Every structure is written in C-alpha cells, then in structure tokens.
Amino acid sequence: MIRFFEKDPYAPIQYTYEVSKVLYHKRSRFQDIMVFENPHFGRVLVLDGVVQITQRDEFFYHEMLTHVVMNSHPDPKNVIVIGGGDGGTVREVLKHKSVEKVYFIEIDEEVINVSKTYFPRVASGVSDKRVEIKCMDGAEFVKNRKSDIDLVIVDSTDIIGFAKSLFTRKFFHSIRNCLTPDGMYVSLSESLHFHKDIVIDVQKTLRTVFPVVDLYTAPLATYAGNWWTFSVGSKRFDPREIRSKQTVRCRYYSDEIHANAFLPLPMYRKLMSGKLDW
Amino acid sequence: MIRFFEKDPYAPIQYTYEVSKVLYHKRSRFQDIMVFENPHFGRVLVLDGVVQITQRDEFFYHEMLTHVVMNSHPDPKNVIVIGGGDGGTVREVLKHKSVEKVYFIEIDEEVINVSKTYFPRVASGVSDKRVEIKCMDGAEFVKNRKSDIDLVIVDSTDIIGFAKSLFTRKFFHSIRNCLTPDGMYVSLSESLHFHKDIVIDVQKTLRTVFPVVDLYTAPLATYAGNWWTFSVGSKRFDPREIRSKQTVRCRYYSDEIHANAFLPLPMYRKLMSGKLDW
C-alpha cells in the first residue's frame, strides 16, 4: 500500500492516508503542491506536505469559515477572500445573494489552476463575474484600500509557516482600515487541543485592533487536532448573533450550529486568562 | 525516532505517535496491552493497537462520558460502569456525592492493574470503598440484576471488535431491566465524521428498547475521527436537561458544554433519516 505521511512539525499526532493514485505533484514558485486520490476522502490537496482540503469533507471547513460572519453581518456586499486558492471559500461567499463583489487574493496562481482541474466543484465560483482574482500577497492588497469592504475572510495555510504575515498586528490594522464601520474579519486560528497558546495569541493581538473579538470552533477530521478554531474581529457587531435575512443551503452549517459553535463565555474567559489547563 | 502506528482498520486516517519509551507491553488473556511515553501526551494506553487514553487529554473523554447523564439524573445513587478498566470513568462518577455504590465491571483485570501502576491519577477512584470491582463480561453481569440501578455507563473499546456484544438489542434489554424507572444509559458510539452509519445503527437499536434516545458529541484528539459521539438511552428523563443540584469540578465539562454537546434537533432528525450526506 502507498501511504502519504503528513509532514506537520507542530502536530503531536501525525496523520497518514492511503494513496490510490498521485494525480499531480509539482513545486510552484511558492510551495510543493500535490493532489492524490484516497479511497475514503476522494481527492486530497496537499501544500508543503500538509493536507488542505479533501473532496469528501471540505464543506465542513468552508461553510464554517464563511457563513458565521456572512450571516452575522446584516448585508454583506463587498468581500475580500485572502488565500483559499482552492476556491471553496469563494464558492460559499457567492451563495449569499447580497454579495456584489469578491476580491479573491491568492499569492499562488498554481493552486487556483490545480483546483480548477482537480476540484472543479470546489473551484466552481472562481469564474463568477462578481469575482476579481489577484495573485499577490494579501497583506499588500489590503494595505492601501479604501474603507468599502464589509468582510475580510482569511483562508490561509497554517499560521506557523509562510502565512505568518497574515497574523500580525500590522496586518490586522490594515484590515480594520479597509472595513466599513460595520465590517468584520474572520480567520482560521489552529486547534484548541494542540495549539491553545497560538489561539490565545491571535485573540490577544486581535483585541488590540478590534473592539469585538470572539472565537468559535468546528470539528474537522483532516486538520491536526481537529477541534479547529476560527477567530473573529468585528468593528461593531457581535458575531454570535445572526442578522442576515437570507437563507443559504448548507450541508453542516445551520443557525443552531452557528450558536453552538462559539465557546461558552465562562470557558472563553478561562481560556483567555490562561486557566484552561491542557 | 521510534514511532507507534495506530492499527485501526476502520479509520480512514491512521494516527502515528512519537514514542519516547515503551513502559509496558504484554498480552493479557484478552488483548495486547501497551503503555508508552509520548513527549506531548505523556503516558499513552494502547489496547490491541488502538489508543485508549492519554495522560494529557483523558479528562475530555471521561468527563463527557460521565457527567452528562450523571447531571441529567436528579439523584444517582447506584451506578454500573462497564469497561473503562483504566478507572477514569469511575473517578468521575465518584465526584458526585449522591453516589453510594459503583459496580465496576471490567472483563480484563490486567487493564486495571496496568492502570494502577502507570496511570495512578486516572485509577485513583478504583480503591474507593463505594466501588465493587468484578472482572467479568458486562453483558453477563447485567443479565439477571434486580432493578435498582440509576445509571449504566459503558466505557468499552471500539464497537467493531470484541466489545460488539455490548451494542446488541439483547444487551440493551438487560440494561433496561436493571434500571429503576428513572434510569439512564450512556455509551460511546464512534465518530460522526468516520462512522456515521454505526452511530445511526446504535441509535436505532436503542430506540427499540428505550422511550428516550439521544446523541451528543465531544471533540477528542486521540480517537480517530475526533468528532466523537455518545449515545443515551433513558426511561423517562430528557438527557438535554440538567436536574442534579450538585456541582462537580471539571476541566472541560460545564452546564454550557452539556447543552451545546447535543446535536441540534433539525440536524439530529436529518442524521436519523439518512439525509446527512457525508
């Protein structure tokens, strides 16, 4: 049997997958890109040795990254998606009829091309006419934008690695400046099982920039630690509340999942004061 | 580096762990028992090649298996724990002051002995005078008991394997018969990511025996699929409600976690009608 051993130096459990067939494997200007076929998950996209999405379960991650802030904002029109070259987040954003414009900022054009070829259903929204693709550093893109953006969604690789410029105070400031007074930001922020200190760190940095900061989680089978967190920074709106009048068809996300996904407040306070002892 | 490769034929992702030292490795009459040391998790207990508990994160599982039904029952006095030879579930049960008697039924005495030696904090409750240990098959023990039991907690190895006698209709009938009219039952029931059909199957079998059947989940890093389910069968009480007046000190479980752990009802109905499409 051919096996793929995930190469995540920061995870205390290493995941291995059966490989039926390697469909693509090349180095782009930025990273090593591989697509393989697995009997359970279907096609699997790997960047620099770490699984990014699988055909079978990508919707858990993409729905949870996207719809919590999309539904918490009353009327999102202009959205920036940074990273997420596979297109899954863009696909979810476009489900909202209010959306007029999506700036899709992916540094590595090859990831978009590979996804169009091997994950056509995930990349289905990429050629929508509301989408403007820019292959550049997300931090550069947001630096000098005017304040007309409703939501910024960061769909990067792991924080520890080349995406770390997307988790600095400077970057969060740029995001705040490009958001309208109702604007919100969301990003993945690692596992509450394995990377609690990183989660706290992201939350604390966000607090120096945004008046409303919060944290929610989702169970993701293919990301190490699985109990995955998402960090929200908001100028005004509490992300726990649903304000959107639109209903979006989802496979996992729902109003109830939205509510339950946020850490109970006593637990959140314990986390932030360093009293969750694991 | 020495590595432990988990041998779980039913999981589409195999987990591997760094091994600092193997502390114990022998075959008992029933299974292969190993304890090794890992830099992140501390000591790890392995039965027949599958990780059962780790020193670092066992409390997530033991708290969630135990306190949901313990707190949903207004006054649990007599409790049966089947399996759970490490003693973690017994330790959690004993935190409730109402408890007068715990029947601790573990088929493999060696697991209890190994846990006393290598996991003394997990096994701390095993020698409590309220605990009566019986090394025998749990299905045999419940078969002819009188109806004086408030709660039955099944803490077995994976359903697929030698614990399968603990998931039959016949076994559930024996449990119902040994419970008081207020009695409840809980058991692990695999991963909602990887073993959805098994989860549905356990729920359906329970429904033929108990008038109230429900499902809750917890994020567990060391069990394949991680989004782990627990199945409840109850004669009368809705397990979503907390009735106990006692407060028990926990590291993860809380009243809010109790409420959020249950599947939202629309999602539960979709699951049971086979409409969750993953």
Quote the ipTM score: 0.94
pLDDT tens track for A187-226: 999 999 999 999 999 999 999 999 999 999 999 999 988 9
What are the distances in angstroms from CA A67 to CA A96, A236, A252? 9, 18, 11
pLDDT at B160: 67
B251 and A276: CB-CB below 8 Å? yes
The answer on pLDDT for A118 being more than 80 is: yes
The answer on pLDDT for B17 being more than 90 is: yes
B221 and A276: CB-CB below 8 Å? no
Name the phi and psi angles at A173, rounded to 5. Answer: -60, -45
The answer on pLDDT for A161 being more than 90 is: no
CA trace torsion B142, B146, B148, B150 (10° rounding): 30
pLDDT at A272: 97
Contacts of A260 in chain B (CB under 8 A): 260, 264
Give me the residue label for tokens 């890992």. Answer: B38
How confident is residue A1, by pLDDT bands cut at 50, 70 and 90?
Answer: confident
Tell me the shortest Cα–Cα distance from B190 to chain A, in angstroms. Answer: 13
Contacts of A148 (CB under 8 A, 6+ apart): A78, A178, A180
> What SS3 state is found at A228?
strand
The count of residues in chain A is 278
What are the distances in angstroms from CA B62 to CA A163, B54, B138, B250? 36, 11, 19, 10
In DSSP notation, B172-187 reads HHHHHHHEEEEEEEEE
A278 and B56: CB-CB below 8 Å? yes
pLDDT at A98: 97
Tell me the shortest Cα–Cα distance from A214 to chain B, in angstroms. Answer: 17
Contacts of A225 in chain B (CB under 8 A): 221
Q: Which of B193, B249, B265 to mutate to test the interface with A (most CBs of A within 10 A)?
A: B193
Size of interface A-B (CB pairs under 8 A): 103
Q: Which of B12, B221, B260 sits opposite A227 (nearest CB)?
A: B221
A193 and B17: CB-CB below 8 Å? no
Residues of A with active-site annotation: 155
Q: Which of B40, B191, B276 sits opposite A12 (nearest CB)?
A: B40
pLDDT tens track for B142-186: 998 989 999 999 999 877 666 677 889 999 999 999 999 999 999
| Residues of chain A that touch chain B, judged by Cβ-Cβ distance less than 8 Å | 3, 5, 12-18, 38-41, 56-57, 59-60, 191-194, 217, 219, 221-222, 225-227, 251-252, 254, 256-257, 260, 264-267, 276-278
Model-wide pTM > 0.90: yes
The answer on pLDDT for A149 being more than 80 is: yes
Q: Which residue of A has its CA nearest to B16?
A: A14
Determine which of A34-43, A78-87, B154-163, B188-197 has the lowest per-residue pLDDT on average: B154-163
pLDDT at B162: 60
pLDDT tens track for B230-259: 999 999 999 999 999 888 999 999 999 999
Contacts of B15 in chain A (CB under 8 A): 13-16
Helix A265-272 and helix A196-207: axis angle, to 10°? 90
Q: Which of A12, A18, A227 sits opposite B41 (nearest CB)?
A: A12
Tell me the shortest Cα–Cα distance from A252 to chain B, in angstroms. Answer: 8
Is B134 within 8 Å of B83 (Cβ atoms)? no
Question: Using the 8-state DSSP alphabet, how is residue A235 labeled?
Answer: S
Q: Sheet containing B101-105: which strands, arranged edge to edge?
A: B131-134, B101-105, B78-83, B149-155, B179-191, B227-234, B212-219
**Exposure of A265 by Cβ count < 10 A (0-12 exposed, 13-18 middle, 19+ buried)?**
exposed
pLDDT at B144: 82
Amino acid at A219: P
Is A88 within 8 Å of A58 (Cβ atoms)? yes
Average pLDDT over residues A52-77: 98
Residue B20: left (phi > 0), alpha (psi -120 to 50), or beta? alpha
Q: Which of B59, B217, B267 sits opposite A256 (nearest CB)?
A: B267
Tell me the shortest Cα–Cα distance from A201 to chain B, in angstroms. Answer: 20
| Residues of chain B that touch chain A, judged by Cβ-Cβ distance less than 8 Å | 3, 5, 12-18, 38-41, 56-57, 59-60, 191-194, 217, 219, 221-222, 225-227, 251-252, 254, 256-257, 260, 264-267, 276-278
Contacts of B252 in chain A (CB under 8 A): 278
What is the rounded distance in angstroms from the CA atom of residue A264 to the CA atom of residue A259?
10
The answer on pLDDT for A153 being more than 80 is: yes
What is the rounded distance in angstroms from the CA atom of residue B10 to the CA atom of residue B8?
5
Strand partners, B38: B42
Tell me the shortest Cα–Cα distance from A12 to chain B, in angstroms. Answer: 6
What is the rounded distance in angstroms from the CA atom of residue B9 to the CA atom of residue B50?
10
pLDDT tens track for B37-83: 999 999 999 999 999 999 999 999 999 999 999 999 999 999 999 99
Q: Which of B7, B249, B255, B260 to mutate to test the interface with A (most CBs of A within 10 A)?
A: B260
pLDDT tens track for A20-45: 999 999 999 999 999 999 999 999 99
- CA atoms B153, B159, B163, B167: torsion sign: positive
What is the rounded distance in angstroms from the CA atom of residue B232 to the CA atom of residue B230?
7
Tell me the shortest Cα–Cα distance from A40 to chain B, in angstroms. Answer: 6
Which domains are delineated in chain A?
Answer: 3-53 (2.30.140.10), 58-272 (3.40.50.150)
Radius of gyration of chain A (CA): 18
B264 and A277: CB-CB below 8 Å? no
Longest dimension (CA), chain B: 55
What is the rounded distance in angstroms from the CA atom of residue A99 to the CA atom of residue A111?
24
What is the pLDDT of chain A when averaged over all its residues? 95
